[in-house]
Chain A
Amino acid sequence: MTILRTSMRNFVAHKGRMILSAVAVMLSVAFVCGTLVFSDTMSATFDRLFRTTAADVSVAAKEQRGAQQNGQRTAQQQNVPASLLDTVKNVEGVASAHGTVSTETATLVDGEGRSIGPTGGAPTIVGAWGPSARKQFDVVSGHAPRGPGDLVVDADTADKKHLETGDRVKVIAVPGTFTARISGIAEFRTTNPGAALAFLDAGSAQKRLLGKGDVYSSLNVTVADGVADRTVKKRVVAAIGDDYQVQTKGESVESAGEQIGSFLDFLKYVMLGFAGLSVLVGIFLIVNTFSMLVAQRTREIGLLRAIGADRRQMNRSVLIEATMLGVVGSVLGVGAGIGLAVGLMEFMGTVGMKLDTSELTVKATTPLAGLALGVVVTVVAAYLPARRASKVSPMAALRDAGMPADRRAGRVRALVGLLLAAAGGAALAATVAAGKVSEGWGYLVAGIVLTLVGCVVVGPALAGLVVRVLGAVVLRVFGPVGRMAERNTLRNPRRTGATAAALMIGLALVAGLSVVGSSLVASVGDELDRSVGADFVVRSDKPVPEAERAVKSVGSLKHVTDMKMVNVKLTAPDGGTETTALTATDPTYTEDVRQKTLSGSLADAYGPDAMSVRKSYAVRHGIEVGDRMTVEFLGGRTAKLRVAAVTADDSSMGTGATYVALGTVERYLDADRLPPNVITFAKAKDGEADAAYAAVKRKLEQYPQYMVRNQADYKQELEDQIGQLLNMVYGLLGLAIVVAVLGVVNTLALSVVERTREIGLLRAIGLSRRQLRRMIRLEAVVIALFGALLGLGLGMGWGATAQDLLALEGVRVLEIPWPTLVWVFCGSAFVGLVAALVPAFRAGRMNVLAAIATE
């Protein structure tokens, strides 16, 4: 009991010293809780949305498996014949049924030629104003569509894009473009997270969106009271056969949830990555805090031991304090996490995703998870210092100085660290030697973990070396102040090591990822230069045939190559089957993208009933040029195709693609089953590149969903995409740095307190405030630079190794982003300066006499 009371008093007495550790715990917990609350709220919002939109039972065309691959559509939208409606209506238990029209392939364009679709990845859905829409929407101004030419848009979109009733909107649909007038604005009854919606009258919707008057995109059934959805589903299937996909409300909600789930998961993992990093970095901070508290309290602990407290009690007393810190930090963290979730929702609002903060979903498990995480992490981090506390001998009460440094342990530790780092280095070397990506991957991960742990363990020993070198280079300039700063940093290498390690981790990650990122950009650029012969690339997420015809009508083009992804079931001669997507293009593709061919010729593969396979597939199934493959075109017929070429795997353009001529595909797949273009390549006639580029751009101006890129622009776009990914990495860096700065502040603040008398003495014998502050700033800078040096070195090693491994997949060029790394290094010095601000200010403000008199 007494021990508990001492712990409590100590905790309260030293709350100032605990603040930064508490902040570290809080940040980690906040990220975890924020992530959970945010993703739970998103799930709940989508769930509510799908529940209101889904019919009791719905009938749609069977979705072809893999209709989306890497976001590219590999199948044409399929419809349900209108005649089916009467059959369904007559099924027992069906109260009512109606056909709906809805498509995500249309683009809405306002009067100034801009797309009014959402920018954040949410769909634009254009459909028919019918019973389903009436159930979900209220027309808040104007009126529902009454005839051809009328269009209703949802209120959120109208608001965002400043649309009013009477405005003209162009609808670019697959069957053709038409113009409609906004007759009314409708508001969703639940929260709509971001899709743009528009409605036409039923007849126009069928004709203009689906291209036929006698089809629907799906049939929605309302089930009679007292009958289960499942029962009706069964009867419907019995009535219409199993050529259609029939889903109950529950199934629809679930499958819709699964689709949105992958996006949610991505967000969730990114944020949990943030949380993990702050936990990792926070641990160092907590270890340091408790180490310093134990060191400062050595005499007190010795006294308690002398009067009869046993080792376990001392150990426990430190852990109790850690638990209290964990609880306080976690409780604050849970609160901050909810705040973070609200902030994220607001932020999503600015990028076009609407979430209602009043629908915040906090599950009971969220605060529990946060609390458990915070407490466990804190106690685990405090374990080592606690063990050290238990080792304090009763004699310490009588000794004047703090704990004697355990030199032997330091040497053992350095040795262990070196061994770990060496093992990591060996694993990285094994990665470089690996012949296959899948093989090297495990080595790479092992190498990264081992070198990281090794560096953390060897850190204190390394600190001595590196700080001396830094001292010789940087600190000598500052004379005695610099020398004292250097010595102070070296005074407790373990502390310096742990503080720097916090910074090291973040910087290592960033350096590694930015090396990989810029190598990727450089490799793709290199590959583009070498293998792309096409002058332009035309792409759209919502392709329409009309626009493709427009491109082909440009006179200054030599040729235009369409590329489609087609779903097939491949059967190799050895009997192995695989469902995959073929890359179907015009034969001119060989001029647009030069592919390395290992045997046969790609031009032959574009012949009738021929195809190519990639090397790894050929090796796996023992295929050689001349063998015959059985190819079942999903939704079409089965073909026997001759293998005419084997292509290389290691290319960053069209990696692992299996090629076939569009002409061949057309023979086995009906025109209405043919998927839209994924990408279109075009080559200009000699000397007319600029004119052709301008002409293609002009032609596509009225199709804002299309993008035209020449090689330079395409390269830039790729760079921008990777740049965006790197920005996320820098966000991660930002967070890691915040926690690492907290660590440096913490270490400095605590060591300033520890050195109060020394500072008093220095001031007494004439060290000016400015010099004192400079000394502390230099200490911080040295710690930061040490961490940066280690982190950047480590990260560069990781990045280079990863690039070497990825060279097998086409990342052939190693590009080290020196400017970025130099900036980060210099930035670290700045970070040190910032971290030293408060501790230096406080040290400067100390009263000289009081400082000297401190016990």
Chain B
Amino acid sequence: MSTAVSTSTTGGSGERTAVAARARKVVKAFGTGDTRVVALDEVDVDIERGQFTAIMGPSGSGKSTLMHCLAGLDTVTSGQIWLDETEITTLKDKKLTRLRRDRVGFIFQAFNLIPTLDALENITLPMAIAGRKPDREWLDRIVATVGLADRLHHRPAQLSGGQQQRVAVARALASRPEIIFGDEPTGNLDSRAGAEVLGFLRQSVDELGRTIVMVTHDPIAASYADRVLFLADGRIVDEMADPTTDKVIERMRTLSVEDTSRTEAAGSEQ
């Protein structure tokens, strides 16, 4: 199975599609000839609106590549990706940049903030770049949600790792993007700070109606999601709704076993 496609493209509300992002037959290959490595192998995927989706898989499975391609950070070798109704695979850098600025939010594993700007400036940066005024009410709500009200004028160096990631979450939410991508957003945090950040992500889906896609290798983090996609060797091999930590650990274990066996099988064929 290389697909994680829902059947309907329109949601219950009827106004907008129920799918925030979709990928069709996406191939991403690095290098050519003998050194060619296929990171994504004809992947089809739908990201449902208003849901928290986690992408999991062993190292080298292509999970980060998939996220980068969905987010318009990376180009694809072939195939198509839509963000809402916009096909982003044909966009040039200029439009892609604007799309990231206006319609996508990012949370990276580390180094999320510009060290010269304080927390509030970092949160409002995408809007400042776009030359838009932030929505004061919305901003206050987000700041209150992530609990940073008294830290707004601190520089990143004066914040703890957990606080920094919370600022990053607030920034990702602040411009009300259609979709937020997180690349192991809790990868650098201890379990308590990680739980805090994941809690905010969950909250922003439940209470603020956001769409979040998160790459992780942590089963606990994945358990906060509504749905988990499993990748191996550049293909989507499984998906799981309403995951729990144990279920995810179980699935991951079998995945690595399959993985190993397949590699061995491939080895014996030669």
Contact of A849 among B68, B93, B121 (CB under 8 A): B68
Contact with A along B78-97 (1 / 0, CB 8 A): 00000000000000011001
A401 within 8 A of B: yes
- Asked if B106 and A765 make an inter-chain contact with CB atoms under 8 angstroms apart, the answer reads yes
The interface residues of chain B lying within 8 Å CB-to-CB of A766 are 97-98, 100-102, 104, 126, 129-130
| Given known A-B contacts A484-B117, A764-B100, A764-B106, A479 and B131 have beta carbons under 8 A apart | yes
Decide: A761 near B93, CB < 8 A? Known: A479-B131, A766-B98, A766-B130. Answer: no
Q: In the complex, what's the smallest C-beta–C-beta distance from A688 to chain B, in angstroms?
A: 73
A771 at the interface (CB under 8 A from B): yes
Does any Cβ of A come within 8 Å of B115's Cβ? yes
> When A758-B114, A758-B115, A769-B97 are in contact, do A848 and B129 touch as well, CB less than 8 Å?
no
Is A765 touching B101 in the complex (CB atoms < 8 A)?
yes
Whether B108 is near chain A, meaning CB under 8 Å from some CB there, is yes
Partner of B125, one of A765, A768, A769, A848: A765
By beta carbon, the residue of chain B nearest A847 is B74
Distance in Å: Cβ of B22 to nearest Cβ of chain A: 21
Whole-angstrom CA separation of A691 from B104 in the bound complex? 85
Which residues of B are found within 8 Å of A762, using beta-carbon distances?
Answer: 114, 125, 129
Verify B114–A761 contact, CB threshold 8 A.
Answer: yes
Interface contact B171-A765, CB-CB below 8 Å = yes
The reply on A143 being an interface residue by CB < 8 A is no
Q: Closest B-chain residue to A766, C-beta based? A: B101
Cβ of A336 under 8 Å from chain B: no
User: Which residues on the A side are within 8 Å of B126 (C-beta)?
Assistant: 765-766
Contact of B108 among A480, A481, A852 (CB under 8 A): A852
User: Considering the chains assembled together, what is the distance between the CA atoms of A123 and B131 in angstroms?
Assistant: 70
Residues of A within 8 Å of B, CB-based: how many?
Answer: 25
Task: Point out the residues of chain B lying under 8 angstroms from A768, CB to CB.
Answer: 94, 97-98, 101, 129
Specify which chain B residues have a CB less than 8 angstroms from the CB of A848 in the assembled complex.
Answer: 73
Question: What chain B residues lie within 8 Å of A758 (beta carbons)?
Answer: 111, 114-115
**Which residue of chain A has its CB nearest to the CB of B161?**
A400
Given A487-B116, A757-B111, A480–B128 Cβ distance below 8 Å?
yes
A491 contacts the other chain (CB 8 A): yes
Q: Are B74 and A849 in contact (CB under 8 A)?
A: yes
The B-contacting residues of A in range 478-529, CB under 8 angstroms, are 479-481, 483-484, 487-488, 490-491
A480 & B111 in contact (Cβ 8 Å cutoff): no
- Contact bitstring A370-402, B, C-beta under 8 A = 1, else 0: 000000000000000000000000000000010
Which B residues touch A767, using CB under 8 A? 97, 101, 129
Is there contact, CB below 8 Å, between A764 and B73? Answer: yes
Complex contacts, A757 vs chain B, CB 8 Å: 111
- Cα distance A244–B125 in the bound complex, in angstroms: 90
CB distance from B131 to the nearest CB of A (A): 6
Distance in angstroms between the alpha carbons of A488 and B105 in the assembled complex: 24
Q: Which residue in chain B gives the minimum CB-CB distance to A491?
A: B116
Q: Does A763 contact B (CB under 8 A)?
A: yes
CA–CA, A764 and B100, complex, Å: 7
A487 with B108: in contact, given A480-B125, A768-B98, A771-B129 (CB under 8 Å)? no
B73 contacts across to A, CB distance below 8 A: 764, 848-849
Q: Is B17's CB within 8 Å of the partner chain A?
A: no
> Using Cβ atoms and an 8 Å threshold, which residues of chain A touch B114?
484, 758, 761-762
Chain A: which residue is nearest B118 at the CB level? A487
- In the complex the two chains form, what is the Cα distance from A763 to B108 in whole Å? 13
User: What separation, in Å, do the CA atoms of A491 and B116 have in the docked complex?
Assistant: 7
Asked if B101 and A488 sit within 8 Å, CB to CB, the answer is no
Residues of B contacting A401 in the complex (Cβ-Cβ under 8 angstroms): 157
Residues from chain A with Cβ under 8 Å of B3 in the complex: none
Residue of B nearest to A401 (CB): B157
- A841 CB to nearest chain B CB (Å): 14
Closest residue on chain A to residue B128 by CB atoms? A480
Closest to A490 in B: B116
In the complex, are the beta carbons of B128 and A761 less than 8 A apart? Answer: no
Q: Are A488 and B116 in contact (CB under 8 A)?
A: yes
Chain A residues with CB under 8 Å of B105's CB are 765
Q: Report Cα–Cα, A401/B110, bound state, in Å.
A: 13
CA distance A771 to B115 in the complex (A): 18
Return the chain A residue nearest B74 by Cβ.
Answer: A849
Q: How far is the CA of A491 from the CA of B125 in the complex (A)?
A: 18
Q: Would you call B9 an interface residue if the criterion is a C-beta within 8 Å of the partner chain's C-beta atoms? A: no
Cβ distance A855 to chain B, nearest Cβ, rounded Å: 10
Q: List residues of chain A with CB within 8 A of the CB of B244.
A: none
Task: Knowing A491-B116, A766-B102, say if A479 contacts B111 (CB, 8 Å).
Answer: no
Residues of A contacting B104 in the complex (Cβ-Cβ under 8 angstroms): 766
Q: Interface readout for A813-855 with B: 1 if CB under 8 Å, 0 if not?
A: 0000000000000000000000000000000000011001000
- Residues of chain A within 8 A (CB-CB) of B113 are 761
Q: Is B2 an interface residue (CB 8 A)?
A: no
Output the residue of A484, A763, A766 with the most chain B CB within 10 A.
A766
Bound CA–CA A759/B199 (angstroms): 29
Pair A487/B98 contact, Cβ less than 8 Å: no
Q: Map CB proximity to B onto A742-775 as digits: 1 under 8 Å, 0 otherwise.
A: 0000000000000001100111111111010000
In the complex, the answer to whether A769 meets B116 with C-beta atoms within 8 Å is no
A481 to B126, CA, bound (A): 11
Looking at A483, A765, A768, the one whose CB has the most chain B CB atoms below 10 A away is A765
With A and B bound together, what is the CA distance between A230 and B215 in angstroms? 98
Note all chain A residues with C-beta closer than 8 A to B131: 479
A761 close to B97 (CB less than 8 A): no
Q: How far is the CB of B216 from chain A (nearest CB, A)?
A: 17
Q: How far is the CB of B157 from chain A (nearest CB, A)?
A: 7
Render B166-208 as a binary contact track against A, CB cut-off 8 A, 1 for contact: 0000010000000000000000000000000000000000000
| B68, B114, B128 interface centre (most CB from chain A within 10 Å) | B114
A765 and B98 alpha carbons, distance in the complex (Å)? 9
Q: Is the CB of B100 within 8 A of A765?
A: yes
* Identity of the chain B residue whose Cβ is nearest the Cβ of A489 in the assembled complex: B116
Which residues of A lie under 8 Å from residue B108 when comparing CB positions? Answer: 761, 764, 852
CB nearest to B113 among chain A residues = A761
Instruction: Assess whether B68 is in contact with A769, with CB atoms less than 8 Å apart.
Output: no
Q: Considering the chains assembled together, what is the distance between the CA atoms of A761 and B122 in angstroms?
A: 11
User: B93 contacts which of A480, A487, A769, A771 (Cβ < 8 Å)?
Assistant: A769
Bound-state Cα–Cα, A764 to B93, Å: 11
Q: Known contacts A488-B116, A768-B97: does B111 contact A761 (CB below 8 Å)?
A: yes
Which chain A residue has the least Cβ–Cβ distance from B183?
A: A852
Q: How far is the CB of B196 from chain A (nearest CB, A)?
A: 21
Closest-CB distance, B189 to chain A (whole angstroms): 14
**Complex: A401 Cα to B116 Cα, angstroms:** 14
A643 to nearest B CB, angstroms? 75
* Chain A 388-418: CB-based contact to B (< 8 A → 1; otherwise 0): 0000000000000100000000000000000
> B-side interface residues toward A, CB under 8 Å?
68, 73-74, 93-94, 97-98, 100-102, 104-106, 108, 111-117, 121, 125-126, 128-131, 157, 171
A-B pairs with beta carbons under 8 Å apart, 12 shown: A479-B131, A481-B129, A484-B116, A484-B117, A491-B115, A491-B116, A757-B111, A767-B101, A767-B129, A768-B94, A768-B129, A849-B68
Known: A483-B117, A771-B129. 13 other contacts (CB 8 A): A487-B117, A490-B116, A758-B111, A761-B114, A765-B125, A765-B171, A766-B98, A766-B130, A767-B97, A767-B101, A768-B129, A849-B73, A852-B108
Q: Which 5 A-B pairs have the closest CB atoms?
A: A766-B101, A487-B116, A480-B128, A766-B100, A768-B97
